[in-house]
Amino acid sequence: MTSRYSFAPVGASTGRPVFTGTVTLPAGTAAAPGLVFAGDVATGFYRVAPGTVGLAGALQVDSHPVWHGGNDGAGSGCDADLLDGQQGSYYQPAAPALGALAGLDTAVGLVEQTGSTLFAKRPLGTGSADAVPTLGDADARYARLSGATFGGAVRNTGQPAFLAFLSSQQLNATGDGTLCTILCDTEIFDQTNAHNPATGIFTAPVTGCYRFDCTVCLIVGATHTRAELILETSNRLHFLSQINAAAVRDATGNAVIMAGSRLVDMDAGDIAFMRVKVSNGTKGVSVFGTTASAIYTSFAGRLEC
């Protein structure tokens, strides 16, 4: 499907036509001129995407003037350079005479929808054949868009992020210096399935900087004077908190809560998990998870950048 640029002669209305129909292109085919989102809207075609996506943009068109030859009556044949009734040139577009932008404008992006996901093609060039993206070409030049709003907030459901909690208790887990891995076995969300609730281990799907939030509730005794909360990653140990648990425990339930957060560097395939160690007593310290209305022990993380 192709489209031809139209213009109004000098002095006429400068209003531009509005395209309101539905454009459908088969996957894997090159977009025809007039069907590409353009950065310069001066060429005049607009398209509002149907449905609830809410995207709007200008369609790129090839607006090089169309010339034709005519006989000026001097007996010399078709030697008059006529451009839709205006004097022009065979070799140079007469855009200044038309008040229009001639040429092939820059393609800012071609939006393609697959299910509820939008993919936007990044710019490939200006004023050349490479400026026309290809539908269905799912390569690295596509950027995934999800949940874009006009208020500027962007929700990316493909970004690694999770929140899990301990649903019951880990009984007699530490107290004598044993290093215990906290098994947050119930996930509230895990956008990329990178956290394993059976092992308590998060595996980084991509290289980047990740932030982890760790909270643990311990039931301790009078001799458990040293408690440590640790975030362990493939690269190093991160000590998030160290307290005298016996001194700060709840007077009636013997409970103490420790929490910490850390921004860490991870390569794709690196792991991270939450651990706790309580010392100077017997192995009688339990990790308390939840009640009917509250979460006490949790592990969360997300990719920051």
Q: Of all residues in the chain, what percent carry a pLDDT higher than 90? A: 46
pLDDT at 142 over 80: no
pLDDT band at 221 (very low <50, low <70, confident <90, very high): very high
Q: Do 191 and 162 meet the contact criterion of CB atoms below 8 Å apart?
A: yes
Region 72-77: mean pLDDT is: 54
pLDDT band at 129 (very low <50, low <70, confident <90, very high): very low
Query: What is the residue extent of each domain of the chain?
Result: 36-63+100-145, 161-303
What does the pLDDT read at residue 113?
53
- If you classify domain 161-303 with CATH, what class do you get? mainly beta
How far apart CA 234 and CA 269 sit, in angstroms, is 9
Q: Of all residues in the chain, what percent carry a pLDDT higher than 70? A: 50
What does the pLDDT read at residue 252?
87
Q: For the chain, give the mean pLDDT.
A: 68
pLDDT band at 154 (very low <50, low <70, confident <90, very high): low
pLDDT band at 84 (very low <50, low <70, confident <90, very high): very low
pTM for the full predicted model: 0.54
pLDDT in tens, 12-59: 344 444 444 444 444 444 443 333 333 333 333 333 333 333 333 333
Locate tokens 């458990």: which residue?
Answer: 224
pLDDT at 181 over 60: yes
Tallying the residues shown for the chain, one arrives at 305
How far apart CA 239 and CA 261 sit, in angstroms, is 10
Phi first, then psi, for residue 56 (nearest 5°) are -140, 145
pLDDT in tens, 246-270: 999 998 899 999 999 999 999 999 9
